Structure 1
Amino acid sequence: MAENPGSPSHGSLSPEGILREIQVNLLECKVCFEKFSTRQRERRPQNLSCGHVLCLECITALSHPLLRKLECPFCRQLCNTDSTSHCQALTDLQELLLSRTPRSPVPHRAKGGLGLVGGPSCGALQLCTAFGGWGTLINPTGVAVFGSSGTVVVVHDGDKRVVVFSPQGRKLHSFGRRGQAPGEICYPVDVAVTPSGHVVVTDAGDNAVKVFTSRGNHVLTTKESFQLPWGVDVNSCGHILVSDLQAGTLSQLTVDYTQGVTLEHQTVVPDLQHPKAVSCCKVTGHTAVVEHLHDDTQPRGNRHNTRLRVFAKDFQLLYQTDSFSLTLGSRVWLCMSAVTFDKEGDVIVTDSNKGMIWSLGNLQNGPTLTPLIRDHLIHPVGLVSAVSNTLLILDSGDHAVKMYSAKSDAV
């Protein structure tokens, strides 16, 4: 289950940046993405018995009309609609901010609550749009993009496990019903798209890799040698690369998509430690893997030590770095949860603890940490480099896909 919505660390933000974070993360409903308002009855912030806050319209829409109960979309606790109350604290905060900053340059969402534009970013990239949200996406775990078209595919915990969006964020269709029958998906973890347009899903609930057409027709399911398949990506040759969290391996699958058969299953990297995220560079042919280290060498406290390894085309290790090594030179502790390559072949990672995106450079002469995104992220779990110099971030904190680009390209 994704973490409850919350704001990222504000230690490095200016007062204006903190104000923007308050507006986005506290003063709007995290289900419909509309701003709370006392002037519109349906937008009034209401306390649920579990402590979370929704607007009155979303409480009405999510509750059973006869039982007058709803399941909190964030903690899943069953709440009685008759026990909700007006959240006066948020109303007072909103009124205070409006009276002090009548023309504050706060980001605003486009009509319908799906787009987010405006407002300068603290990092090198700026948020252009966001889509999804609770109901459309439920605890999403993986994101990928269809080639040059920019069509986005996400796996999540809904009744249909795979959702396809247009580049503008409009839901096109969904497939992969929950279950273990052919064509069904138990617990999707990650997703990738092949050059031919097939969708590849790792199913940790069925210990399998499953392949579908772009319209959702089942092509094949392979369980051979997998103990707990996790991360997945596809290289430029169409080979599927899968990390196995439990076996500690990286496998390469060669598939005949026309016949729907697996031609070869080869372990290309053994002896990994809890490998999760996988990414293939279309420019260099390199493959990056993020490992989660669980041993006695990691520092005390609740900081998780993660390691990034980058392999050449022949899967020889080129270079590696980890959270502890990075902090020696930069005093920044990265909890890496996802990885991708940009068009220059530089490595980009998510920091799920701080809600940030970092560039590590090409790593040939050692990592060069550059913060790319600091704003509007809660708990990023997925990352993909898309067309037109954009980054797509899957944020499980508010169940949304967020698109960032350079300020000159922002719309």
Structure 2
Amino acid sequence: MAVNPHSLRSQATRSPERILREIQSNLLECKVCFEIFNPAGQSERRPQNLPCGHVLCLDCIGALSHPVLKKLECPFCRQLCDVDSTSHCHALGDLQELLLNSKVGVPSYGAKALHVFGSLQLCSAFGGWGTLFNPTGIAVLGTSGTMVVVHDGDTRLVVFGPQGRRLHGFGRRGDICYPLDVAVTPNGHVVVTDAGDKSLKVFTSRGCHVLTLTDVFQLPWGVDVDMRGNILVSDSQTGILSRVTLDCVLGVILDHQTPITDLEHPRAVACCQVTGATAVVEHLLFDESHPTWNHRPARLRVYDQYFSLLYQKDSFSLSLGSTAWLCMSAVAFEGDGNVIIIDSKQAMIWKLHKGNKLTPLISENLVRPVGLICTAKDSTLTVLDSGDHAVKIYSFR
């Protein structure tokens, strides 16, 4: 049986310390409030088994359950559970006690904790199940640090303040069917790709509908705004990157062009506001007969401001200089023009220096990162983690 050498190298780099940290972030914290379980006595953070098999802390079970009916809907599988049928999760309690009493320390992790990964510090996290549901895209509103996130809630867009406080939401479930990505124009309008009705939708920052562009896309996916305020949209079905110019005040389309037409299932799109470059992540066809392809291959293409190809890298070429097979899923630009790559499958974030040198930025305490914001002004990296239904903010300082 053929063995994937990239998979072996990836497993070899998982040190005992890293495995312990992954156990803590994936098993020993409540995925609703992000607090560490405390199995002692009647603690409000004691891990409790739901009848469906999922585990929450005692406090979150109380907060989510009906005060009279004593029932709650599991936030993960939506099964209706009786509060009286919950039980203490002895396995997680014993595991936590074993790790805490071992000589190898497990660092604490939570929404208010501080960690250092190289030059990055995890400063805070917010959101969580109940506030965000399977989020898929994030963008920043102007220079204030206000963020907008698209997700699967009743209101498809949620606006957060710079400190993580939920300000408001808009875009009802019927008005936006299946949002995939979001971007913000220089004048503060919010742009959403909706795969449900194959459209591009524009709103004001307060949620007033401006316009909907239909009958143009077959599967609109990634969206971003270039340095001139034009909207770039990838169509994963047709392999086209569109450039749309809008007058958001009048609510009209001024121009629609297709500068790139030879892409293969393009997904994520990012524009550099300094150099004008555009990066696109393509999901290539998966050859199940290939003995080393245990993951779907992807390709990164980077173009200059005139859409001339600067360079391209696929999963195989990037993995040659790395210890892991990269599963590129999203992309962003740093202020200096370097590309940052999100690997949702391995829960890692990488930096690609000048199109050649690849270095890991974050490899811990992420579950399924799907989007990020690079803010050069205050040297922060904001990561949208769909696995935790949360926004996590890291600092380079």
Q: Same fold (TM over 0.5)?
A: yes
Counterpart contact for 1:126–1:373, Cα < 8 Å: no
Q: Which residue of 2 aligns with 1:94?
A: 96
Report the secondary structure of 2:394's partner residue. Answer: strand
Stretches of 4+ aligned residues off by more than 6 angstroms: none
Return the alpha-carbon distance in structure 1 between the equivalents of residues 330 and 152 of structure 2.
19
Counterpart contact for 1:298–1:304, Cα < 8 Å: no
Which deviates further from its counterpart, 154-163 or 141-150? 141-150
1:111-160 alpha-carbon deviations (Å, 9 max, x no partner): xxx4332x332x44221111110001000000111232111110000111
1:317-348 alpha-carbon deviations (Å, 9 max, x no partner): 12111102222343531101110010110011
What TM-score do you get using the length of structure 2 for normalisation?
0.91
Q: 1:116 aligns with which of 113, 125, 128?
A: 113
Q: Which residue of 2 aligns with 1:43?
A: 45
2:213 partner amino acid? T
Return the alpha-carbon distance in structure 1 between the equivalents of residues 14 and 67 of structure 2.
43
Q: 2:136 aligns with which of 126, 137, 141?
A: 141
2:282 matches 1:287? no
2:144 partner amino acid? S
Return the alpha-carbon distance in structure 2 between the equivalents of residues 152 and 298 of structure 1.
43
1:116 partner amino acid? A
2:373 matches 1:384? yes
Q: Which residue of 2 aligns with 1:216?
A: 207
2:393 matches 1:396? no
2:244 matches 1:253? yes
Gaps (5+ residues) in structure 1?
1-8
Counterpart contact for 2:270–2:280, Cα < 8 Å: yes
Counterpart contact for 1:115–1:131, Cα < 8 Å: no
Counterpart contact for 1:326–1:332, Cα < 8 Å: no
Q: 1:374 aligns with which of 363, 370, 390?
A: 363
Q: Which residue of 2 aligns with 1:157?
A: 152
Report the secondary structure of 1:92's partner residue. Answer: helix
Return the alpha-carbon distance in structure 2 between the equivalents of residues 308 and 299 of structure 1.
21
2:224 matches 1:233? yes
How far apart are residue 97 of structure 1 and its match? 2.8
Which deviates further from its counterpart, 18-27 or 340-349? 18-27
1:138 partner amino acid? F
RMSD of aligned alpha carbons:
2.1
Alignment of structure 1 residues 196-345 onto 2, 5 Å: 196-296=187-287, 299-300=290-291, 301-345=293-337
2:170 matches 1:175? yes
Number of residue equivalences: 385
Counterpart contact for 2:13–2:323, Cα < 8 Å: no
Counterpart contact for 2:233–2:243, Cα < 8 Å: yes
Report the secondary structure of 1:30's partner residue. Answer: coil
2:194 matches 1:194? no
Q: Which residue of 2 aligns with 1:22?
A: 23
1:280-320 alpha-carbon deviations (Å, 9 max, x no partner): 00111010000001154984443110100111111121211
Q: Which residue of 1 aligns with 2:352?
A: 360
Report the secondary structure of 2:342's partner residue. Answer: strand
1:258 partner amino acid? V
How far apart are residue 46 of structure 1 and its match? 0.9
Q: Which residue of 2 aligns with 1:166?
A: 161
How far apart are residue 11 of structure 1 and its match? 5.0
Return the alpha-carbon distance in structure 1 between the equivalents of residues 192 and 349 of structure 2.
24
How far apart are residue 80 of structure 1 and its match? 3.6
Report the secondary structure of 1:148's partner residue. Answer: coil
Report the secondary structure of 2:31's partner residue. Answer: coil
2:374 partner amino acid? S
Counterpart contact for 1:124–1:373, Cα < 8 Å: no
How far apart are residue 62 of structure 1 and its match? 2.3
How far apart are residue 108 of structure 1 and its match? 4.3
Return the alpha-carbon distance in structure 2 between the equivalents of residues 297 and 92 of structure 1.
41
Q: Aligned in 2, Cα 1:39/1:143: closer, same or farther, shift over 3 Å?
A: same
Q: Aligned in 2, Cα 1:92/1:360: closer, same or farther, shift over 3 Å?
A: same
How far apart are residue 224 of structure 1 and its match? 3.4
Q: Aligned in 2, Cα 1:337/1:317: closer, same or farther, shift over 3 Å?
A: same
1:120 partner amino acid? V
What TM-score do you get using the length of structure 1 for normalisation?
0.88
1:374 partner amino acid? S
Q: Percent identity?
A: 65
How far apart are residue 27 of structure 1 and its match? 1.7
Counterpart contact for 1:298–1:305, Cα < 8 Å: no
Report the secondary structure of 1:185's partner residue. Answer: coil
Which deviates further from its counterpart, 81-90 or 354-363? 81-90
